[in-house]
A and B are shown apart, each in its own frame.
Chain A
Amino acid sequence: MNKTGRTGERGKLLVLLETAQAKSAHISTETITELAESLDLSIGEVYGVASFYSFLYTKPQGRNVIRICKSLPCLLKSAQTIIDNVRKEIGIQPGETTPDGRFSFELTNCIGACDKAPAMMVNSDVHGNLTPKKIAKILKAYK
Chain B
Amino acid sequence: MEKRVVLKNCGVIDPKDIASYLKVDGFKALKKALKLPATQVIEEVKVSGLRGRGGAGFPCGLKWELAGKAKGDEKYVICNADEGEVGTFKDRYILENDPFSLVEGIAIAGYAIGAKKAYIYLRAEYHFLLDLVKNAIAQSKKKGFLDHLDIEVREGAGAYVCGEESALMDSIEGKRGEVRYRPPFPPTSGLWGKPTIINNVETLTNIPRIILNGAEWFGKMGTEKSKGTKVFSVSGDVAKPGVYELVLGSPLRELVEDLAKAERVKAVQIGGATGRIMPYALLDTPLSFESVLGAGAITVFDESRDIIDIVGKTMKFLAEESCGKCAPCREGTEVMAETMDRLARGEGVEKDIKVLEELSETMMLCSLCGLGQAAPIPVVDSLEHFRGEYENRIQQS
Q: How far is the CA of A143 from the CA of B158 in the complex (A)?
A: 24
Could you say which of A72-80, A85-93, A97-105, A134-142 contacts chain B? A72-80
> Does chain A have a CB within 8 A of B320?
yes
Write 21 A-B pairs (CB below 8 A) sorted by A numbering.
A10-B173, A11-B173, A11-B174, A11-B192, A52-B177, A53-B158, A56-B158, A72-B87, A72-B317, A75-B313, A76-B235, A108-B158, A109-B160, A112-B84, A112-B89, A112-B91, A113-B89, A113-B92, A114-B86, A114-B235, A115-B235
State the A residues within 8 Å of B (CB): 10-15, 17-18, 48-49, 52-56, 71-73, 75-76, 108-117, 121, 124-126
> Does chain A have a CB within 8 A of B128?
yes
Inter-chain contact B158/A76, CB cutoff 8 Å: no
> Does chain A have a CB within 8 A of B9?
no
With both chains docked as a complex, state the minimum distance between the C-beta of A101 and any C-beta of chain B, in angstroms.
Answer: 22
Number of chain B residues whose Cβ lies closer than 8 Å to a Cβ of chain A: 49
Inter-chain contact A76/B237, CB cutoff 8 Å: yes
Inter-chain contact B174/A13, CB cutoff 8 Å: yes
Chain B residues lying within 8 Å of A117, measured Cβ to Cβ, are 235, 241
Q: Mark B370-382, 1 if CB is under 8 A from A, else 0.
A: 0000000000000
Inter-chain contact A111/B154, CB cutoff 8 Å: no
State the B residues within 8 Å of A (CB): 83-89, 91-92, 123-128, 154-160, 171-177, 192, 233-237, 241-243, 269, 273, 299, 301, 305, 310, 313-314, 317, 320-321
With both chains docked as a complex, state the minimum distance between the C-beta of B322 and any C-beta of chain A, in angstroms.
Answer: 12
Chain A residues lying within 8 Å of B156, measured Cβ to Cβ, are 53, 55
Contact among B125, B157, B237, B310 for A18, CB-based, below 8 A: B157
Q: How far is the CA of A35 from the CA of B301 in the complex (A)?
A: 47
Given contacts A14-B154, A72-B236, 20 further A-B contacts (CB under 8 A): A11-B192, A12-B174, A14-B157, A49-B175, A52-B177, A53-B158, A54-B158, A72-B273, A72-B310, A72-B314, A73-B236, A109-B317, A109-B320, A110-B87, A112-B125, A113-B92, A114-B236, A114-B299, A115-B243, A121-B125
